Amino acid sequence: MPFLDHAGARLFYTVDGPDHAPAIVFSNSLGTDHTMWQPQADALAGRFRVVRYDTRGHGRSNASGDAFTIDQLGGDVLAILDALGIGQAVFCGVSLGGLTGMWLGVHAPQRFRRIVLANTAARIGDADSWNTRIGNVLRDGMAMMVEPSMQRWFTPDFAASASRALDPLRATLAGLDPRGYAACCAAVRDADFREAVRTITVPVLVIAGSDDPSTTAQQGRELAAAIPDARFVELPAAHISNIEQAGRFTAALLDFIHGRLPVTDDTARYESGLAVRREVLGNAHVDRSLAQLSPLNEEFQHLITRYAWGEIWTREGLPRHTRSLLTIAMMVALNRPDELRLHLRAAANNGVTRQQIKEVLLQTAIYCGVPAANAAFHLAGEVFAAMDDAAGKPPA
């Protein structure tokens, strides 16, 4: 198990993705653990070194003390990055994790390329309400926090439709050590970044939920306005927006990391689409396509760049990982071997594994027919063998 002993705490962390990839570290909200970031880890681990950890007093991270400080929580992040040999990373935190991100932006800006502060505020709640909560959980335990928290974390419609999928979150909250939870409540109670955030020089994205009762969208706008040149995105969600709007959250995160701005016209749509096309299909393929432009095909190529890549592949509703798998399945169903070959090669750029491609092809055997799947398996074998040969890997 990856544990780090640091400053009186034993911190649990997990790492997904290639060691050489750009690093992104995720910080959980009060009452959750590193698993809250599973949708983002699934979408990003093919392109990023995804670091998730349990905040001290949460999950498998433990520490002594009645009251933690944001200084301690920020120091934990830096210690994990040091232990992993990561000099600079992207940081993304929700709620309590967002307060940790503010501390890092103020005190360790050189360690972060970009910082995402989600569903948080420079000052959250007041001392009386936090002291009441601390007293309640120390007296009555964590069970009394579960349903009230779920009501704050998610909108009623989402909670009803995804009720069973949210059971692991309920179990995580119910299973927390009340002392660790209370000590983190004290960290939130004592944190006030209303003036300090004005000094942050790292590029910042603030994400807010339009239905968040804990840290409102207005508080998010105020936080973004206080941080120099910060960007602001509002999602139709409550407090845990990275789960309720997982696809949109991940898309906003990626757009921010890559410096993409919202598309406003056809020229911008073409440029945005061309960038996404390169990221998904690779520069070599796109350069070949551009070199083959002619009076006959130029308008068609511009059309698919603007609308297939600039509209569909940039939509927030699904991560590229999912779009890649869907496209592979559709190419099998439509018997389009050239496009299938292209998207089989491109899938790795979207974090898709060969095991996941195999599962999709098995699915097509049932729903598209055995002959179609048989041809797709043969084609996939050829594509993967050629990729391995080009990379100097031995035959599988």
Per-domain boundaries in the chain: 3-257, 266-391
* Alpha-carbon distances of 331 from 123, 336, 372, rounded to whole Å: 50, 5, 10
**CATH placement of domain 266-391:** 1.20.1290.10
Q: Is the pLDDT of residue 57 over 80?
A: yes
- Asked if residue 72 lies in contact with residue 46, where contact means CB atoms within 8 angstroms, the answer is no
pLDDT, tens digit, 9 for 90 and up, residues 60-103: 999 999 999 999 999 999 999 999 999 999 999 999 999 999 99
The label of the residue with tokens 């520490």 reads: 63
pTM attached to this predicted model: 0.72
The neighbouring-strand residues paired with 6 are: 9
* Range of lowest pLDDT (148-152, 287-291, 376-380): 287-291
Distance CA 372, CA 378 (A): 10
Distance CA 225, CA 221 (A): 6
pLDDT-based confidence at 268, cuts 50/70/90? low
Q: Is the pLDDT of residue 280 over 90?
A: no
- Compute the mean pLDDT over every residue in the chain, rounded to the nearest whole number: 93
* Range of lowest pLDDT (103-112, 169-178, 271-280, 321-330): 271-280
> Is the four-CA dihedral 76, 115, 205, 202 of positive or negative sign?
positive
pLDDT, tens digit, 9 for 90 and up, residues 334-359: 999 999 999 999 898 888 899 999 99
pLDDT-based confidence at 275, cuts 50/70/90? confident
Q: What is the mean pLDDT of residues 266-282?
A: 80
pLDDT at 358 (0 to 100): 96
Q: What is the mean pLDDT of residues 223-238?
A: 96
Distance CA 110, CA 340 (A): 43
pLDDT at 135 (0 to 100): 98
Q: What is the mean pLDDT of residues 107-134?
A: 98
Q: Is the pLDDT of residue 217 over 60?
A: yes
Give CA torsion, residues 18, 110, 25, 82, to 10 deg: 70
Domain 3-257 indexed as CATH 3.20.20.140: no
Q: Is the pLDDT of residue 298 over 90?
A: no
Distance CA 377, CA 371 (A): 10
* Alpha-carbon distances of 184 from 31, 136, 159, 175, 309, rounded to whole Å: 9, 14, 25, 15, 43
pLDDT at 246 (0 to 100): 86
Q: Is the pLDDT of residue 265 over 70?
A: no
